[in-house]
Structure 1
Amino acid sequence: MRIAVAGATGNIGSLTVVALERRGHEVVRISRSTGVDLSTGEGLDAALAGVDAVVDAVNVEAADRAGSVDLFGRMTRTLLAAEAEAGVRHHVLLSIVGIDRVDGNPHYAGKREQERLVAEGPVPWTIVPATQFHDFAEMVVGWAERDGVATVAPLLVQPVAPRDVAEVLAEVAVGEPKGRHPHLAGPETQDLVDMARRTLRARGREVRLVPTWSGVFGPEMAGNVLLPDEGARIAPTTFEEWLVGSA
C-alpha cells in the first residue's frame, strides 16, 4: 500500500514511517521539510497522488485556546479536502485519551476540533486515542524547569511507549476504517512526579521537583481523568523498559 504520514519528522510520525516501511509499504512523508505545508496546502496534492491511507500524527503548539482550535482546524480541513480529491480511502488520526473530560487545556481544545472535523469529514476514518507517552514527564520538566527547579502536577497516567503507538497506527492504517478505536495505553498506572524523578535519575540530572497544581496542569486533570476506559488496548512496553532502552 501507498500510505502518507503527516507529521513524518515528529516523534510518533517518524516511528510510524519506520513501522510501515518494515511491513513493506510505500510511505510518503508529509512535513514542511519535504515541501508540504498543511497550513496552506502547498505540495499536498502531489504528495497524496495514489495514496491509499493517511496517518495524521501532526503535533502543533499554540499559546491559547483560539489559536489551537484555529491551527488544528485549518490543517485538518486542508488535509481532508485534499484526501477527498485524491480518493484516499482511510484517514487515521492519532488523538489523546481524556480530551473530552478537560475543558481548559488549549491543546485539548484543538484536538477536539480535529476529531470533530475528521468524524464529520468526507474520508472514512479511524481515530486512535492514546494516553500520554513515556517521555511525557521529561517533556513537562523541560517546560517548567527554572534554575534547577521544576513544578510538576501529580497527574495519574497510564503511559504508553511511542514505538508501541507507532506500531498500532501502522496496523490500523492498512486495515479498514473503524471509527473510534479503543483507547491505547501502557500496561501500568504511574504518577507523573515519580516518572519525572525516575527519568531524571536515569539521565543523571539534578532537578528539584515541586509537586503542584498551579503549574502547567490544573486540578481538573486530577484523579482518573487521563486514564483509559475499560476495554482499552494495552501495549506491552512498561515505563521501566522504555527508560532502560532510552538511556
Structure 2
Amino acid sequence: MRIAVAGGTGLIGRMVTDAARSGGHDVVVISRSGGVDLMTGAGLDDALRGADAVIDVANVTTLSRAESVAFFGTTTERLLAAGKRAGVAHHVALSIVGVDRVESGYYEGKLRQEELVKAGTVPWTILRATQFFEFAGQILGRVPGPVAVIPKMRSQPVAAAEVAAELVRIAVAGPLNRVVEMAGPDRLDIAAMAREVLRAQGSRRLVLQIPAGRAMAEGGLLPTGEVTLGRMRFAEWLADTAAPRP
C-alpha cells in the first residue's frame, strides 16, 4: 500500500519510513525538505495523491502552549483536509500516554491534535506511546554543564523503533477509530536512565533530580488498562546504541 509519513525526516519519522519500506510499502515522505509545508499546506495535495494511509509523526520542540497548539492544530487540520480530498482511508497519529492527565504546554497541542483527528471525517487510529529510550539522552543534550538537571518523572519507556513498527502495523491493519497505547516492558525513573546514559558515555556529569509536577512524579505518564508492550529493554537498547554525547 501507499503510506504517507508526515514528519518523515525526524527521529521517529525515519524509523517509520524504514519500517514501511521494509514491509514492501510505497512510502511518501512529507517534509519541508521534500517540498511540502504542513503549516501552509503547500505541496500537500500532490504528496497525498494515491495514498492509502497517512502516519502523522510531525513534531515541534517547544514548552509553549500557544506554539504547540498552533503547530499541532494547524498541521493536523491541513493533513485531515488534504487526506479527505485525496480519499485517504486511514489517518494514524502518534500521541503520548498520559497526555490527558499531565499538565504541559506541549501536551495541550497534542490534545488539540487528538480532538481534531477524532472529530474528522477520515477514519483514524491514535497510538499513544510512552517516552522513547532516547528521551533521557535528549534531555541531557539540552542541559549543558557539569550538572544535568532532570525532572522527577516515572515512565515506562519504549524503543522508538518498536513504536515505528507498531505505527506501520496499525496503518496497514485498518482504522480502529479509537485510541490505543504502547509502552516498554519496564517502569523506570528518567533520572536513573540519564545516569546510565552518562555511564555508557564515560561521562562524570552529575544528575540532579528536581520536582516536575505531582502528576508526572506519581505516574501520570504510565499506561493504564490495555497496552501493547515492546520487547526491548532499556539496558539492551543502550548496549546496542552509540549514545550521542550531549
The match for 2:170 is: 172
Deviations 1:152-175, CA, capped at 9 Å, x for gaps: 122111000010000100101111
Q: How does 1:1-247 map to 2 (within 5 A)?
A: 1-103=1-103, 105-145=104-144, 147-213=145-211, 217-247=212-242
Number of positions where the alignment pairs a residue of Structure 1 with one of Structure 2? 242
* SS of equivalent to 1:183: strand
- Return the alpha-carbon distance in structure 1 between the equivalents of residues 164 and 139 of structure 2: 22
Cα deviation, residue 63, structure 1: 4.4
Aligned partner of 1:197: which letter? R
State the TM-score, normalized to the length of structure 2.
Answer: 0.95
Percent of pairs with identical residues: 49
Deviations 1:53-98, CA, capped at 9 Å, x for gaps: 0000111123421221111101110111000011000000000000
- Return the alpha-carbon distance in structure 2 between the equivalents of residues 25 and 76 of structure 1: 23
Runs of 4+ off more than 6 Å: none
8 Å contact 2:152–2:216 — kept in the other structure? Answer: no
- Return the alpha-carbon distance in structure 1 between the equivalents of residues 110 and 21 of structure 2: 27
Cα deviation, residue 231, structure 1: 1.8
For structure 2, the residue ranges without an aligned partner over 5 or more in a row are none
- Return the alpha-carbon distance in structure 1 between the equivalents of residues 24 and 129 of structure 2: 25
Aligned partner of 1:218: which letter? G
Give the RMSD, CA atoms, in angstroms. Answer: 1.1
Aligned partner of 1:67: which letter? E
- Return the alpha-carbon distance in structure 1 between the equivalents of residues 60 and 191 of structure 2: 25
* SS of equivalent to 1:182: strand
Q: Structure 1 residues 84, 2: CA separation in 2 closer, same or farther (over 3 Å shift)?
A: same
State the TM-score, normalized to the length of structure 1.
Answer: 0.95
